[in-house]
Amino acid sequence: MITESAVLAALSNIIDPDLGRDVVSLGFIKELSIADGAVSFKMELTTPACPVKEQFKTQAESLVKAIPGVRAVEVSFSAMAPKSRPGPSTDTLKSIDTIIAVSSCKGGVGKSTVAAHLARAIQREGHAVGLLDADIYGPSLPTLFHVQEPEVYMRGELIEPVVVDGLKTMSLGYMMGDKPAVLRGPMASNYTTQILRQTDWGKLDYLIIDMPPGTGDIQLTLVQQAAIDGAIIVTTPQALSLVDVQRGILMFEKVSVPVLGIVENMAYYSCGDCGKPQFIFGDSTGKLKERFGLSTLAQLPILPGISSTAHKGDGENIAAFAQLAENLHREIGKRRMNAEEKPQAVAEKAFMRVIWPDGTESRVSNREVLSACKCARCVNEYTDAVIIDKRTLPSEIHIEHIEPLGNYAVSVTWDHGCCSTSIVTWDLLRRVAGLPKL
């Protein structure tokens, strides 16, 4: 006789590669039914775009079929309910599973190009995707999609999105053309709310929002109105861009939007002779992880014609865009499960006490932590040479405020030192404490 416990025991051998736990203990198995040798069940995934869905299906069928008496296995899939999105009675966001903000605090880093190619990459996976251009003052979608002043019309109270080769898009630039948006902050925020909430997006797996650069009214309006599931920070390897990454991280964390990772745009070019990537500004992957505690979701190359996304297949030959989409799905899944135990940091006079997930504690000197700071004021971007003279730091440095940043770092406000606020990663704290990396 086939028992439920036997089926669950077999399925517990399937380990989620991102969460590091089996699908049974994670609560993924739903609606298990056993009748006349036929076993059926549903796997509730963190996101409908889960990159290992087919792998799970193959493993589940093989493991359950191996149970004596099982003659047939039927596996279906569902996804966790989308985030609750508060809003008016006419709510066009209620049928959207995941909303992602693509952001940068500095203009000119290719944020809009990244947002458009990300949308296309997810669309090529077979998902329903929308793209909102929320940059009121410098809309880019008309240029990226080769759509100049299309006919935008209302259906009742709703705005019909402009569909470009299967991708639903909306931008104020569609209606304004080349005219500048001469708007004060409150009016710009109102326009942003209108094109976000009144566009008839329909059922979407993903809505990608191309955020305007900076950390002002429009950004706050979008975060409050859209209940964003996660943010991606786009940067380039230059020093000025990297300095602004910290501002973006702190902005999103203050409004409880998890930062999923960093995209390094224009990171390299492929040599015409040898075909190898040439990092003309230096390979920053390790530095970004060390400085901010966040993973690099993708390194994007410098390529001619990359700013065209009018067709579904644009960018298909660039592997980094597919990698970006897959890494995004994985990070969303991890955040939705909230399965990772986070360390805790407590300020104690001139020291920081850290309680690690395994129950051990470390007590590290604030002076040592600040001496190890990797911000642009402390370390040269290109040579890694230490800029600050540690001997000038006082023997006792106190923490004025400490705040957790997702599962990767804490934001620390100091009463003295080279930087008033710094992002201190858990790995940095472990290194100062003489512990191995997590």
DSSP string, 24-63: TTTT-EEEEEEETTEEEEEEEES-TT-TTHHHHHHHHHHH
pLDDT over 60 (residue 10): yes
pLDDT over 80 (residue 179): no
Query: So what's the pLDDT on residue 241?
Result: 57
DSSP letter, residue 421? E
Domain 96-337 has CATH 3.90.1640.10: no
Tokens for 292, please give them: 């901010």
Tokens for 41, please give them: 């069940």
- The band of 157, judged by pLDDT with boundaries at 50, 70 and 90, is confident
CB atoms within 10 A of CB 163: 11
Tokens for 320, please give them: 């980094």
CA distances from 35 to 1, 4, 9, 62 (A): 10, 11, 18, 18
Alpha carbon distance 418, 433 (integer Å): 21
- Reduce the DSSP state of residue 72 to 3 states and report it: strand
Q: What is the mean pLDDT of residues 119-130?
A: 95
Q: What is the mean pLDDT of residues 108-116?
A: 89
344-432: what fold?
NE0471 N-terminal domain-like (3.30.2020)
Report the range of poorest mean pLDDT among 59-63, 131-135, 193-197: 193-197
* Residue pair 207/100 in contact by the 8 Å Cβ criterion: yes
Return the axis-axis angle of helices 217-226 and 185-197, rounded to nearest 10°: 30
Return the axis-axis angle of helices 319-337 and 111-124, rounded to nearest 10°: 80
pLDDT in tens, 363-410: 998 888 888 877 666 776 666 677 777 677 777 888 888 888 877 888
Alpha carbon distance 118, 208 (integer Å): 8
Owner of token pair 């296309």:
120
Amino acid at 426: W
Which strands make up the sheet holding 29-35, listed edge to edge? 29-35, 38-45, 72-79
| All residues at 6 or more sequence positions from 329 whose CB lies less than 8 Å from its CB, including other chains | 47, 49, 50, 51
Give span(s): CATH 3.30.2020.30, the chain. Answer: 344-432
Alpha carbon distance 249, 342 (integer Å): 18
Q: What is the mean pLDDT of residues 175-191?
A: 59
Between these two residues, 277 and 174, which has the higher pLDDT value?
Answer: 174
Query: So what's the pLDDT on residue 46?
Result: 86
pLDDT over 90 (residue 193): no
pLDDT in tens, 290-347: 777 788 899 888 877 788 899 999 999 989 999 999 999 999 988 887 656 788 999 9
Alpha carbon distance 244, 214 (integer Å): 9
Return the axis-axis angle of helices 239-254 and 285-292, rounded to nearest 10°: 40
Query: So what's the pLDDT on residue 188?
Result: 61
Tokens for 327, please give them: 């890494």
pLDDT over 50 (residue 266): yes
Alpha carbon distance 245, 111 (integer Å): 13
Give span(s): CATH 3.40.50.300, the chain. Answer: 96-337
Give span(s): CATH 3.30.300.130, the chain. Answer: 4-79
- The band of 90, judged by pLDDT with boundaries at 50, 70 and 90, is very low
Alpha carbon distance 106, 243 (integer Å): 9
Give the architecture-level CATH label for domain 4-79.
2-Layer Sandwich (3.30)
Own/partner pairs, 281-290, CB within 8 angstroms, 24+ separation = 281/236, 281/237, 281/238, 281/382, 282/237, 282/382, 284/237, 284/242, 287/374, 287/384, 288/235, 288/242, 288/245, 288/262, 288/264, 289/427, 290/374, 290/425, 290/427, 290/428
